[in-house]
Amino acid sequence: MARNKDLQTANKAKKDEFYTQLEDIEREMKNYKKHFKDKVVFCNCDDPYESNFFKYFAMNFNQLGLKKLIATCYAGSPIADTQLSLFDDNSQVKDTKTGVPHKIVISEVTDLNGDGAINLVDVEYLLKNDKNVLTRLNGNGDFRSKECIELIKQADIVVTNPPFSLFREYIAQLVEYKKFFLIIGNVNAITYKEVFPLIKENKMWLGPSITSGDRKFNVPDYYPLNAAGCGIDENGNHFIKVKGVRWFTNLDHNKRHDEMELYKHYTPEEYPTYDNFDAINVDKTADIPMDYGGVMGVPITFLDKYCPEQFEIIGNEYDLNIDKGRGYVNGKRMYSRIFIRKIETNK
């Protein structure tokens, strides 16, 4: 299986075109549908001809009751480039290796056959025939560009798979413009200094549909397929499987409030205290003791099960200034931890 090194390799090479599978989007989105009625959704890292985020929201535009759907593309798709040339008789088709940055704005989607459902055929017809929805951008389509910033100001909710190499900057922009969001990132982003304070303060949390295993992402044909979890599917699409993927959001969902069932009892032998910090070490989230009221160091994947009514997040190694940067047990350096305390209730 391809591990986090796939994302790290993409980061170093600035290869950020990882396209999320439609089924993964559908599985996560079912937890948030109540949030989208009468909202403007912005997919700001999404070529409408390639992005399953755009396709999902276009196909579910009426069902979700969206007010508007906006998508912008950095660089450009050869398909979209050709389509844009059809809309302007004076234009020339650009170099298909770079394409034309563009945007699409949709305020309605028509059910062509009247069966009560919008499908991919309806969306493709809209893209090919509606000259009013697809337009060129003046700049390069980067989410940090002036044009895209003006569009994010219009949006209520931002949903996309942002560039792996720019995740910190991407989060910072969402916070700056006070946007609701649902985005994909690496689980290790939890430890970033730009990210962890948001989690600690319950301004961001993880989505419920991905808690383990790997996920398949389609990639451009020119990406090297040199990891174990990669290949070409039955439709000829190149893909890479990546471990450690999570949804990050500030949209509330019901599963976030499900308390963990705790069954183990605290003993000093099973839960040693750190050499350099006053807390006990817990190796597995499932092993959190039910009867310990002090501070505990737990794996970062604890956040997959985190319920804010059950636990308080105290901090991590860095914002607590733990000596040597990590917790040590009997002289052994432990993996990165989140430090938590159980909230006492009257139950």
**Is residue 288 within 8 Å of residue 282, measured between CB atoms?**
yes
Question: What is the sign, positive or negative, of the torsion defined by CA atoms of 73, 78, 81, 87?
Answer: negative
Compute the residue count for the chain.
347
Q: Is 313 helix (H, G, I), strand (E, B) or coil?
A: strand
Portion of the chain with pLDDT greater than 70, in percent: 87
The pairing of beta strand 337-342 with beta strand 311-316: antiparallel
Whole-number mean pLDDT of the chain? 86
Tell me the C-alpha to C-alpha distance, in Å, between residue 16 and each of 7, 23, 164, 290, 342: 9, 20, 6, 42, 39
Return the higher-pLDDT residue of 213 and 331.
331
Confidence check: pLDDT of 89 > 90 = no
At 220 the pLDDT is: 78
Q: How many whole angstroms separate alpha carbon 172 and alpha carbon 144? A: 11
Q: Looking at per-residue confidence, does 266 or 90 come out higher?
A: 266
182 and 157 Cβ atoms separated by less than 8 Å: yes
Query: Is the pLDDT higher at 176 or at 214?
Result: 176
State the virtual CA torsion across 283, 288, 289, 292 in degrees, nearest 10: 100
pLDDT grade for 131, boundaries at 50, 70 and 90: low
Take residue 344 and report the two structure tokens written for it: 């006492």
Q: How many CA atoms lie within 13 A of 48 on its CB side?
A: 30
Give yes or no for a contact between 310 and 282, defined as CB atoms under 8 angstroms apart: no
H or E stretch covering 241: strand 238-243
Contact 170, 192 (CB under 8 A): no
Query: Quick one: pLDDT at residue 165?
Result: 86
Domain ranges of the chain: 5-255, 258-342
Q: Tokens standing for 252?
A: 């509330």
- pTM attached to this predicted model: 0.88
Q: How many Cβ atoms from other residues are within 10 Å of residue 343's Cβ?
A: 13
15: left (phi over 0), alpha (psi -120 to 50) or beta: beta
